[in-house]
Amino acid sequence: MIRALALALLPTAVMADPVESTFRILSRGEPVVATLLRPDADTPPVALLLHGFTGQRHEAPVPSLGQGVFAHTAARLADAGIASLRIDFRGSGDSTAGSTFAQTTPERQIADAAAALTWIGRQSDLDGTSVHVVGWSFGGLVAASLAGRDDRVASVSLWNPVALPRVTFEGILGAQIFAAGLATAPDAPVPGAQPPLNGAFFAGVAGADPVAAIARFFGPAMIAQGTDDPVIPDGSAEALAAAHPGPQVLWQPPMDHAFDIDEGSETLDALIDRTIATIRRP
C-alpha cells in the first residue's frame, strides 16, 4: 500500500504543446512566408506542405473545424510527433513582397519548395535527413517533380495531384485560353486568363511532366485521387502509380477535390492517417 502510494506520487512527464512560428525564407532572393509547427520532440521528422493553385499555406477552411486543411493537417502531424512547414509560394498568400501570382510557374514553385528543404536542413532541432513532401493538387505536381530531382525528399504524399498538367489546365482555364497562353510572351499577361497569368505559366505547364519525375523517385509514395473529383482527370493517379518504382499506396475513395470538407473532416482525416503511415514507413 505504501509502495503504491509512493508510485502514485512520482512525477509524470508532461508533453508541451506544439510551438508554431511564422517567418520568411528566401527563394532566389525573394521572400517566402512559412509557418513551422514543431512538436515537443527531439529533432522530429518534417513534412513540407505544398498548397494548390491559387491557394495559400493554411489552405481552404474546413467548416466543421474552423481552420484550414493544412492548418488541421499540421496539428494532426504534430500529435503524431511530426513537425511541419507550410509555405506560401511566391505570389500566393502572404508571399507577395517580391512577386505577383501572375508570375507563377511550375519551376518557380519547385524552386520555392527546394528553398524550404534547404532551410529545414539548416535547423539543428529538426531532422533534415527525413523530410516528407505533401502536395495538394498543383502542389502535388510540385511535390512529384521535386522528389524526382532532389534526394533530400524521404517520401511523397500526393493529394488529388495534377499529373497530366496540360490536360488538367485546359479543363480548368479553357482550351482557347491555354492556346492563347502558349502564344503569349513569357513576361506578358495572357488576355482573358483568370486568375491573371503570364505566358510563362502556360509554357511551364506544357513542359511539366510529374509522371516522368516520379519515375526517378524510389522512396515511399501515397497517391490519392477522389473518384468524385471534377478537377483532376481520370487516370491521373494511376499514371503516377504506374511510373513510381518504389513502395506505394494508391487510394481512390469517393471524395471531391477538397476531400468532402463541406460535409466534415472524416475523409480528410483518413487521408492524413495514410500520410502519417507513409511518413513512418521504414
The residue ranking higher by pLDDT, 1 or 187, is: 187
- Section 85-108 average pLDDT: 97
**C-beta separation of 22 from 57 below 8 A:** no
Non-local CB neighbours of 268 within 8 Å, separated by 6+ positions: 62, 69, 72, 73, 259, 260, 261
Task: Give the pLDDT confidence score for residue 4 in this predicted structure.
Answer: 39
Q: The pTM is what?
A: 0.94
- Section 92-114 average pLDDT: 97
6-26 pLDDT, tens per residue? 333 444 444 689 999 999 999
Task: Give the pLDDT confidence score for residue 258 in this predicted structure.
Answer: 98
Nearest to residue 87, comparing CAs of 114, 60, 63, 51?
A: 51
- Residue 37, Cβ neighbours under 10 Å: how many? 23
- Section 107-125 average pLDDT: 98
Task: Give the pLDDT confidence score for residue 12 in this predicted structure.
Answer: 43
Domains present along the chain, CATH in parentheses: 16-280 (3.40.50.1820)
191-242 pLDDT, tens per residue? 999 999 999 999 999 999 999 999 999 999 999 999 999 999 999 999 999 9
Write down the mean pLDDT value for the chain. 94
Task: Give the pLDDT confidence score for residue 7 in this predicted structure.
Answer: 35
- Section 127-155 average pLDDT: 97
Residues found in the chain: 282
Nearest to residue 46, comparing CAs of 89, 90, 81, 88?
A: 81
User: Locate cell 499514371: which residue?
Assistant: 239
Instruction: Report the alpha-carbon angle 253-162-145, nearest 5.
Output: 120
- Section 41-60 average pLDDT: 97
**C-beta separation of 95 from 86 below 8 A:** no
